[in-house]
Structure 1
Amino acid sequence: MSIGQQANPWKWSTIILAALFVSCISWYFISGDAGQVTEEAVAGEDMSGQGDPAATGQEGQDLPVHEVEQGHDYSSLASLQEASGEPIRKVSTIAKGDSLYAILQQNGVSNRQAYDILNAVKPVFDFSKIVPGRELVLVFSPDNQDLTGIEYSVSDISQIIVSIDGENIQAQKQEIAKVLTPEYTGRLRQIDYIVAKGDNLYNVLRSQGVCDYQIDLVIKSVKKVYNLSGIIPGNAMNIWITEEEPVRLARLTYEIDYLNLLEVVPENGSYKASRQTFEVDVQHERAEGTITTSLYESAIQAGLPPEVVMALSDIFAWDINFFTDIRQGDHYTVVYERYYVKGAFRGYGRVVAARFINQGTPHVALYFNDGNGISGYYDEGGKPIRKLFLKAPLNYRRISSGFTHKRKHPIYHVARPHLGVDYAAPTGTPVVALGDGVVTFRGTNGGFGKSIQITHRGGYVTYYGHLSGYAKGIKKGARVSQGEVIGYVGSTGVSTGPHLDFRVRLNGKFINPLSLKPVNGPSLKGESLARFREFSAQRMAMLDDSSLNRTAELGTENVSL
């Protein structure tokens, strides 16, 4: 084109428009392919990862690839319960505060179903009255998905059975027939058993095949009659059970002692326990002797039973200090009971009459019971032997039997200027209250060491010092009975050896314990005294009746405790 020629503007416009059109067409096809890829990617994300960021990942991240676990097959776990085909029984014991509604919820039962169960069962049994200690069983389908039943023990002989099939809920009360009925005519097997050390009723019956349910009923029935928790080794137990299965208890007897037998038999779906006492033939026997060493040694050497010797010391403990007053040549005579059951000797009973001549002074004790609540030992005139205070604060029964002629009795006393009495005795020797009273001090008191102070009626106060320890329950304010063990001999405080420092104060002044005047209780009067006089004449005659003496049996009979 020459300089002179004029430019055509429409020509250049057309070219520019054509170029733009081609560019738009190209961009359209390029953008369409990219969009298709994006949609496919999004669709793939929705289908595979379902929007999971971990599945799609971010730019620059590697997506995890899932692999099947090697050596782990979990499929069997899902079908384990279902494969067994057996219902699942969940047994629990009702605790205080439990409710069936709460228990059902805890076991995955819906609120609606729990309400439906309670309402459906209510005409038969009100589950709001479940009792702590009773057994509750929830029965689930083999796959553990559906509750199919409930069992609840209403009592020892009945239970509530609830069956559940969807919305169909049925309840019924059912009697438990696990105990033998009186009409049973089958064969029984008898087991004669001697109780061994460590035995208990549960183990003995369980070893014979008796089920826990029956044993529990037996134990409950026996508790009201006798405590079988401590059956004694050597005692006889006889058990009758059915020969056929399941084993059921038909009868049980246990020898409590030679006088009493416990019997347990089925009754009304449970068991009934009763105590039988054998008829006892009571015979009287007389013994006498002269003391050469101590009462205990002399009496045992003469063949007197140990329990009779101890009873004799208890009877005269208010009049004779057996630790300090006994002398050689003292003489005793005693009449006591012997028990026979079915012709066999079974033991010794009460001392019915006794006479003890101590340092030339006779003491007589006769047991009397007027049948109207008055009983005890009295002298010939009807005065009670029991007095306000014992003669000594040590128990002869508790310490005498351990000493023989080879081991001299270690108790002796020494009078002190302070108007007290020291009883030398081994550490641990029981110390008893001289009379009824209240503990007004228990603790350490200077040179007196561990000590106890007891206040009695009539202005008397007794003191017990140098103790090694105190008996259980002894504390300030505690009431104690005459003869009750309150502590034990020791050597605490200022002491040269184990002994009891014993003192007595009357109306604020210390007095000599050995010179305490006896204070008797009320004497018999009226009809009681008249009956006693007639009775006492018979008993006094028995004390002089040598035909009651033991003779040939003395050296042969086993008289051990």
Structure 2
Amino acid sequence: MQQRPLFNRKRRPTRLIRRTLLVGLGTFALTAAIWQILPEDETNAVQTRQGSAAGNEIPLTLEAIDAPPSHASQSATGSSTAAKAGNAPKQPASAQTVSLESRPNFDIPGKKEALEAIEQPEKNTAAIDAPSADAAMPEADPIEEHTVTVHSGDTLSTIFEKAGLGYSDVLRVLDLGDDAKRLERLRPGETLVLMTDEADEFAGLKYELDAESELNIFRDDADSLVAKIDALPSEKRLVSAGGTIRGSLYQSAIATGVPPAQVMQLAEVFGWKVDFLRDVRDGDQFRLIYEVREREGERLGTGQIVAAEYVNRGERFKAVRYTSPDGTTGYYEPDGSSLERGFLRYPVEFSRISSSFNPKRLHPIHNTVRPHNGVDLAAPTGTPIKSAATGRVTFVGWKHGYGKVVQVRHDSKNETLYAHLSGFKANLKRGVKVEKGATIGYVGMTGAATGPHLHYEFRVHGKPLNPLKVELPEAKPIASANRQDFLKQTRDPLDQLARIQIDVEGEQPVHLASNERTADSSGD
């Protein structure tokens, strides 16, 4: 009888083999996965039970399967040696890193992913459950800025209220210190930049204090409000101007575009050479180079005169600003002689002399002859008054017809008096030392006064002298050790000064804005 073949020759056993392999591989993968996720204590217990049953046999693991042949032979040799040694201590089996390349090369869909999940389950879990890097580091809340213009009657509270912010935010801001308290004195026309976060909560503000500094309030890394004053970037430039006098220095210089502050500086620089109240004549000429500060093309303010010239009735006077290596700054003639004295010629910026020194003046209020022991310099109320020289305050207070008075003793013989003040500089009191040019009070009309002005007296050994004519010693010239440095620093400014052209006929003063250039960074 012919024996029936086990397989039909037309039917290959491929499907059966494939199914058998898949079942085997699935069983293997499931067993390995269960082995990996078992708790450590249970795994040890299973290993202990297997060890007891199998004696010295090493439990089958994925690492053992992937061990290279050389390691396998070494393990076998080690086991044989251990058996021969009898009671010799057993060395623990070392696990080898699983490698996908060492697996049988079965091209089964999903095999690679399954093996990766088996070999590194903790990595697979992290990839599913762990938050992404973007989620772990959320983006900062977007900050929105709102520019607010201060109007008459506005306060920080009303501005915050209009912006939808609470009074608690105002208190938090004002509690940040003295810098933040400047926000209590807002003026019409100023601007605030308010910042809010995504939830419309207060996040900070910016407030320009002056042309060169800004108050910044912001949240730090701890989400707390911080107040800080930052310097605003600016550029220093030099501007040249020149003109011919028609009427007065002040009017002629203003006509050329020279700022009022620079006109007063010019009169102060040459104050001990020219009496600008009495000696000025039509046809006199002036030239000057002065500093300006700009930001993004906008002029923020002016600085110091760098060099100047004044021609009075044919006599030429020149001045140049110089800072010595020890930091001392002053105005000098081109030969190094000082143009300064120990005293200011005028302790206040004024528009005119309303009353001169006169021992036999008829008093305008009492209508009696009373000596006028000083000069009256007319100026708007609140104009700062400067100490004429370094000295020590001997009196601060009220003196009958003088009103509010400050007296300063400069040395053993010279003393100055300032009367009719509207107020005193903060913390000014008797015994305090003041420097030349330091503010000591403000112009007013207290006491017997018909208008705002400064009554200025100069006393020598207690005797009043005319402040505009008193003889004072000149300051020291350039030291011989600094002479070469002086010549080097002042050469360029004096050359530029000489190149300023002026209308000879004097019909129209000329402002030479085209001579602008970047200021030397070494200058103050």
Shorter-chain TM-score category?
A: 0.5 to 0.7
Cα pair distance change 1:217/1:321, threshold 3 Å = same
The partner residue of 2:165 within 203, 210, 213 is 210
**What does the per-residue CA deviation read over 1:143-177, in whole Å, with 9 as the maximum and x for residues that have no partner?**
xxxxxxxxxxxxxxxxxxxxxxxxxxxxxxxxxxx
The partner residue of 2:511 within 530, 550, 557 is 550
Alpha-carbon contact 1:468-1:487 (below 8 Å) kept? no
Match of 1:367? 321
The aligned length equals: 358
* Residue 191, structure 1, aligned to residue 146, structure 2: yes
Alignment of 1:342-353 (within 5 A): 342-353=296-307
Alpha-carbon contact 1:323-1:411 (below 8 Å) kept? no
Write the distance in 1 (CA, Å) between the matches of 2:408 and 2:451. Answer: 24
Amino acid at match of 1:525: A
Alpha-carbon contact 1:441-1:475 (below 8 Å) kept? yes
Match of 1:323? 277
Cα pair distance change 1:345/1:210, threshold 3 Å = same
Match of 1:289? 243
Match of 1:313? 267
Write the distance in 2 (CA, Å) between the matches of 1:447 and 1:232. Answer: 35
Write the distance in 1 (CA, Å) between the matches of 2:380 and 2:191. Answer: 37
Shift of 1:262: 3.2
Question: Which residues of structure 1 form unaligned runs of 5+?
Answer: 1-181, 401-408, 555-561
* Residue 457, structure 1, aligned to residue 445, structure 2: no
Write the distance in 1 (CA, Å) between the matches of 2:173 and 2:186. Answer: 14
Alignment of 1:12-411 (within 5 A): 185-186=140-141, 188-221=143-176, 223-224=178-179, 227-244=182-199, 247-267=200-220, 268-370=222-324, 372-392=326-346, 395=348, 397=349, 399-400=350-351, 409=352, 411=354
Alpha-carbon contact 2:321-2:329 (below 8 Å) kept? yes
Write the distance in 2 (CA, Å) between the matches of 1:456 and 1:501. Answer: 18
Shift of 1:357: 3.0
| Secondary structure of the corresponding residue to residue 424 of structure 2 | coil
Shift of 1:451: 8.2
Cα pair distance change 1:536/1:345, threshold 3 Å = same
| Secondary structure of the corresponding residue to residue 321 of structure 2 | strand
**What does the per-residue CA deviation read over 1:293-331, in whole Å, with 9 as the maximum and x for residues that have no partner?**
222112122332223212323333454443334333332
Q: Tell me the TM-score normalised to structure 1 length.
A: 0.51
Match of 1:533? 487
Cα pair distance change 1:279/1:185, threshold 3 Å = closer
Shift of 1:287: 0.9
Cα pair distance change 1:207/1:222, threshold 3 Å = farther
Alpha-carbon contact 1:251-1:263 (below 8 Å) kept? yes
Shift of 1:334: 0.9
Write the distance in 2 (CA, Å) between the matches of 1:266 and 1:381. Answer: 57
Write the distance in 2 (CA, Å) between the matches of 1:189 and 1:365. Answer: 52
| Secondary structure of the corresponding residue to residue 535 of structure 1 | helix
Amino acid at match of 1:550: H
Amino acid at match of 2:485: R
Write the distance in 1 (CA, Å) between the matches of 2:177 and 2:398. Answer: 48
Shift of 1:480: 5.5
Alpha-carbon contact 2:343-2:436 (below 8 Å) kept? yes
Cα pair distance change 1:539/1:241, threshold 3 Å = same
Pairwise CA RMSD:
4.7
The partner residue of 1:472 within 416, 424, 432 is 424
Alpha-carbon contact 1:413-1:424 (below 8 Å) kept? yes
Q: Tell me the TM-score normalised to structure 2 length.
A: 0.54
Cα pair distance change 1:301/1:190, threshold 3 Å = closer
Write the distance in 1 (CA, Å) between the matches of 2:146 and 2:195. Answer: 6
Match of 1:96? none
User: Which of the pair has the greater relative contact order for Cα pairs under 8 Å at 6+ separation?
Assistant: 2
Match of 2:470? 516
**What does the per-residue CA deviation read over 1:265-293, in whole Å, with 9 as the maximum and x for residues that have no partner?**
21113123334434323222111122232
Identity across aligned pairs (percent)?
25
Shift of 1:335: 0.5
Shift of 1:543: 1.0
Write the distance in 1 (CA, Å) between the matches of 2:254 and 2:471. Answer: 32
Alpha-carbon contact 1:252-1:265 (below 8 Å) kept? yes
